[in-house]
Structure 1
Amino acid sequence: MTTANFSRPVSRRRAGLAAAGLTGVLVLTACSGGGGSDDGSSPSASVPPSASASGSTGGSGGTSSSASGKVAGSWLTTGDGKAVVLVVNGDKAALFTTGGSVCSGTASTETIRLKCPDGSKERTVGTVESVGKTSLKVRWQGSLGTESFMKAEGGKLPSDFPTAGLGS
């Protein structure tokens, strides 16, 4: 008689879903960038209507009270063998981990506030400590402390992003 072991397939399925989510985030980020030329006839159908587009026409950009600008974009880090993706678009923020957490909320130039349906509290309130062209440091309330993120550009992982041990 054989026995079924469901824990491994579930783990692989979760890792696959998380990887698909990460790929989707990177693809959406690449599509929502202001760099390339498009026929201009309509916005991408994959961007939800509630998402705000920052600086959609190029130019000087103006001032904004939202997180658009330096904090806006897709940011990646690793922790405890998991990839962590933080996406900021206008005053909206989302966080995804390969462990299955999906959190959403708001962001400003100083603070990130997220709610996680799975009850996770690790990354619900964060203070932006520093932000540069390719790096972001967020100090999360609680025991997690400060995380350093790398910016993902053009739908690609940063060349020095540590991927060894992820998903295992």
Structure 2
Amino acid sequence: MTCATARVRSAALAAGLAGALALTACSGGGSKDAPSSSSPSTAPTSGSGSPAVTGASKQLQGSWITTAGGKVVALVITGKKAGVFATGGTVCSGTAGTEAGMRMIHLTCTDGSKDRATGMVDSVDGKAMKVTWSGKLGQETYTRAEGGKLPSGLPSNPQQ
């Protein structure tokens, strides 16, 4: 990979991450003192008879980054809304929240990909979140992105 190609990819990543971080800045004004809803939900069912998705717990909120297949993937969760942005142009949107006592993510991708259509959050803490996707991806580990900055440890030039 040439330096010019690496710079273009870095610029594309920065633009995508800036958009993802801007999405989180537009979240509804929840109180910092509001309790986290990490306990199982007793949400009513929707008209289809399946459990309704309630808002994602405070732990899930924010911007999360991973790398997969040589691409940087940003997962952004704000309230009940979720989005995935990957270098190369993949954009997915949907919901995140508690469903039947499990923390779930449901996404629809503009390119028709089903790789991240349904994910279950296996674990989450202040720094990392593990999500198991129902598609061929399996489990991915995301790192929290704070303050508009990429987390440390991401490769700056994958060809080195």
- Name the TM-score, length of structure 2 as normaliser: 0.73
Contact 1:82 1:166 in 2 (8 A): no
Decide which structure has greater strand share: 2
1:61-80 alignment to 2 at 5 Å? Answer: 61-62=34-35, 64=37, 65-80=54-69
Q: By how many angstroms is 1:165 displaced?
A: 3.9
Given residue 130 of structure 1, which amino acid in structure 2 is its aligned partner?
Answer: S
Structure 1 or 2, whichever has the larger Rg, is 1
- Alignment correspondent of 1:125: 118
Distance 1:154 1:131, change over 3 A: same
Given residue 118 of structure 1, which amino acid in structure 2 is its aligned partner?
Answer: D
Given residue 105 of structure 1, which amino acid in structure 2 is its aligned partner?
Answer: G
- Alignment correspondent of 1:4: none
Please tell me the root mean square deviation across aligned C-alpha atoms, in Å.
2.8
Q: By how many angstroms is 1:22 displaced?
A: 1.5
Contact 2:92 2:108 in 1 (8 A): yes
1:11-22 alignment to 2 at 5 Å? Answer: 16-22=11-17
1:81-120 alignment to 2 at 5 Å? Answer: 81-109=70-98, 110-120=103-113
Gaps of 5+ in 1: 1-11, 33-46
Gaps of 5+ in 2: 1-6, 38-53
Secondary structure, aligned partner of 1:139: strand
1:100-134 per-position Cα deviation (integer Å, ceiling 9, x unaligned)? 10000000141000001111111110000000011
Contact 1:66 1:107 in 2 (8 A): yes
Distance 1:27 1:142, change over 3 A: closer
Distance 1:16 1:162, change over 3 A: closer
